[in-house]
Amino acid sequence: MLTRIDHIGIACFDLDKTVEFYRATYGFEVFHTETNDEQGVREAMLKINETSDGGASYLQLLEPIREDSAVGKWLAKNGEGVHHIAFGTADVDTDSEAIRGKGIRVLYEEPRRGSMDSRITFLHPKDCHGVLTELVTAADHSPKDHD
Residues with a known catalytic role: 7, 43, 60, 84, 134
**Full DSSP string of 45-94:** EEEEEE-TTS-EEEEEEEEESSTTSHHHHHHHHH-SEEEEEEEEES-HHH
CA distance 5 to 87: 5
Q: List residues bridging with 135 in a β-sheet.
A: 87, 121
CA distance 62 to 130: 19
